Amino acid sequence: MIAGHLQEKKGLFYIVLNCKDENGKRKPKWIPTGLKAKGNKKKAEVLLLDARKNYKDPSEDVEINQPQSKQEPENPPIGEGEILFADFMDQWLQMVKHQIELTTYVTYELAVERRINPYFREKGITLQSLQPRHLHEFYMYILSTYKVKTNTVQHLHANIRQALQYAYAMDLILTNPADKGVRPKKNQFVGSFYNSSELNELFDVVKDDPVELAVLLAAFYGLRRGEIVGLKWQSINFENNTLTIQHTVTAITHNGKYIELEKDRAKNKSSHRTLPLVPVFRELLLRLLDEQQLNKKLYKSSYCMNYKDYIYVNKLGERIKPGYITQHFPLVLEKNELRRIRFHDLRHSCASLLLANGVSLKEIQEWLGHSHYSTTANIYAHLEYHSKISSAQVMSNSLNLQLT
């Protein structure tokens, strides 16, 4: 059965079969399905499977529907050398492009184009001949050549396994070689963080700086960068004194073009959360609201009205770019001779400060908006100290330990 995938073009589904010309060079065959892309994915997949099963190479004299001999499997996988693994990964990218978020797709695309395909294309390994040892050798190559952490290889492994699972579901391979446990173990994450005195010093130096609001929200509420930039005035309830995280803004570069993605939802279900608006932040936001109204009058037609609903804008009403925060933050630290941490480490600082003051991991999970308790525990359990004090007290009361 020949390999193939669905391709969307001008709102319609096309079947693309991985054919070859008389010289053995790859020459895709496009077959129109006549189906609109929207709402017809399952129908198109049925047509794709049928086309892959019944396609006949013009160079062969066998009829398309000629019965197979009893010795042959009913749906044999494509033969070795039929398609390079790198070519298959390209096809898989096109297949998933319209099924996942653009931010996720860009991550997949970078992994495939920069790391996975260059290696496997040079090796000439086909999809059918791919074995667990090939993947293991690839992971070791990435670790030694690029000096990355094993977490990076974990992400590459996840991309490869997902693609191979699709190949397995489409009967292109008999088993998924990525299921053989060849990936390296994940690094234990230990985030950097500021203590309370360092945070207070940071608050002093960022006062009136463009990055001030981002620093305060990340350190106090543990907000992510996209959540900070995505805050809208409608998310603030000054009557009930609440702040709701329900809109995000993220930035990506795709095909050389800078794109900001606005989403009327948080990162996950748990990330959509409502937090108490404490007096100091209530006063800060009311001051920012007054400043925005004043700037609209002051700059008149020069004031940008495209982001009037957003909180984090400059004097001309332009929304602060996500990348500006992470680029400007280390400059502030360096200028004021503060210990270097990442901007995202302010979120870790928030969690560590809560733990140090007896807040449970479950409560921190809800405060930070982690989708699973295990995520919070894996990251911050080593910082939890109060439970260890209780354990030490229990052991002291239970044992008559005396040292001379």
Output the pLDDT for position 72.
37
Distances (CA, A) of 94 to 15, 77, 111, 113, 117: 12, 21, 14, 13, 14
Distances (CA, A) of 158 to 153, 163, 287: 9, 9, 46
Percent of the chain whose predicted confidence (pLDDT) is above 90: 57
Give yes or no: residues 34 and 54 share one domain: yes
Tell me the mean pLDDT in the region 293-303. Answer: 96
Least confident among 26-40, 277-291, 339-353:
26-40
Q: How far apart are CA 155 and CA 312, in angstroms?
A: 32
Q: Which of 18-22, 150-154, 179-183, 393-397 has the lowest mean pLDDT?
A: 393-397
pLDDT attached to residue 66: 40
Query: 64 or 299: whose pLDDT is higher?
Result: 299
Over residues 79-90, the mean pLDDT reads 78
Q: Which of 31-45, 133-147, 256-270, 362-376 is the least confident region? A: 31-45
Residue type, 346: L
Q: Which amino acid is at 303?
A: Y
177 and 217 part of one domain: no
225 domain residue, yes or no: yes
Domain shared by 215 and 325, yes or no: yes
Q: Does residue 83 share a domain with residue 53?
A: no
Predicted pLDDT at 394: 66
The answer to whether residues 179 and 317 belong to one domain is no
Tell me the mean pLDDT in the region 1-18: 81
Q: CATH code at 111?
A: 1.10.150.130
Residue finishing a domain among 187, 211, 243: 187
Q: How far apart are CA 285 and CA 336, in angstroms?
A: 26
Determine the structural domain holding residue 163 and report its residue range.
78-187
Give the chain's mean pLDDT.
85
Beta carbons within 8 Å of 146's beta carbon, 6+ residues apart: 115, 152
Predicted confidence band of residue 90 (pLDDT cuts 50, 70, 90): very high
* Overall domain count for the chain: 3
DSSP H helices, 68-211, are 85-96, 102-111, 117-123, 132-146, 150-169, 196-205
For 203-246, the pLDDT digits (tens) are 999 999 999 999 999 999 999 999 999 999 999 999 999 999 99
**What pLDDT shows up at residue 135?**
95
180 and 201 together in one domain: no
In this model, does residue 71 exceed pLDDT 50?
no
pLDDT score of 79: 40
Question: For the residues 253-279, what does the mean pLDDT come to?
Answer: 88
Name the β-bridge partners of 313.
319
Write out pLDDT tens, residues 149-167.
Answer: 898 999 999 999 999 999 9
Residues 140 and 260 both lie in one domain: no
Q: Give the least confident one: 22-36, 197-211, 301-315, 366-380.
A: 22-36
- Say if residue 233 is in the same domain as residue 356: yes
